[in-house]
């Protein structure tokens, strides 16, 4: 344990209050360094009630994520969801992703290191790396400034009686 810190002028000692503050700062720094820089919030399973994710966070979708019929999952600007291989996001209720031009929402696969926390630095992403978003039956989705990357299966995407536009207009 530190008893004193030497000041710039010889033979001067720091008061004990400064020592306590320095020790507290050292403990805080140690705790901050103990949390890995590559960590992400793990998410999977069923969402049964309205849920809003943390803005700007990276989420690791470790298993199929199902938004129940009576729930809405809200994904704020700057949030990144990275899914494992074979995983999908199933929406029986509602999905609202509200990105902005400067902070889009990203749905991608776990090996994509171009956005969010790098969860798999040893591998490169590939098309079909995860199954994507499945809006089912009475489900709905509002997607503003969203980037959907590396999703796909052998299934096709259809938009019956729909208009798909990019950009304004």
The most confident of 8-12, 53-57, 149-153, by mean pLDDT: 53-57
Model pTM? 0.71
Is residue 146 exposed (0-12), middle (13-18) or buried (19+ Cβ within 10 Å)? middle
pLDDT > 70 in the chain, percent: 67
- Tens of pLDDT, residue by residue over 47-66, are 999 999 999 999 999 999 99
Q: How far apart are CA 58 and CA 39, in angstroms?
A: 8
The most confident of 18-32, 80-94, 135-149, by mean pLDDT: 80-94
Residue 72: closest CA among 54, 41, 47: 47
Q: How far apart are CA 75 and CA 50, in angstroms?
A: 11
Three-state SS annotation for the chain:
CCCCCECCCCCCECCHHHHHHHHHHHHHHHHHHHCCCCCCEEEEEEECCCEECCCCCEEEEEEEEEECCCCEEEEECCCEEEECCCCEEEECCEEEEECCCCCCEEEEECCCCCCCCCCCCCCCCCCCCECEEEECCCCEEEEECEEECCECCCCCCCCCCCCCCCCCC
- Tens of pLDDT, residue by residue over 84-126, are 999 999 999 999 999 999 999 999 999 999 999 888 888 899 8
- Tens of pLDDT, residue by residue over 132-142, are 999 998 999 99
């Amino acid at each position: 344990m530190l008893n004193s810190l030497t000041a710039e002028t010889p033979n001067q000692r720091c008061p004990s209050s400064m020592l306590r503050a320095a020790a507290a700062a050292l403990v805080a720094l140690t705790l901050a360094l103990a949390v890995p820089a590559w960590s992400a919030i793990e998410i999977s399973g069923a969402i049964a009630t309205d849920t809003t994710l943390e803005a700007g966070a990276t989420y690791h979708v470790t298993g199929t994520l199902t938004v129940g019929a009576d729930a809405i999952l809200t994904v704020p600007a700057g949030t990144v969801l990275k899914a494992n291989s074979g995983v999908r996001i199933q929406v029986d209720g509602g999905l609202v992703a509200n990105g902005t031009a400067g902070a889009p929402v990203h749905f991608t696969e776990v090996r994509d290191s171009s956005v969010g926390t790098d969860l798999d630095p040893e591998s490169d992403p590939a098309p079909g790396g995860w199954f994507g978003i499945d809006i089912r039956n009475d489900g709905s989705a509002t997607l503003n400034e969203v980037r959907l990357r590396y999703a796909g299966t052998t299934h096709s995407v259809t938009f019956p009686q729909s208009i798909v536009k990019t950009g304004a207009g």
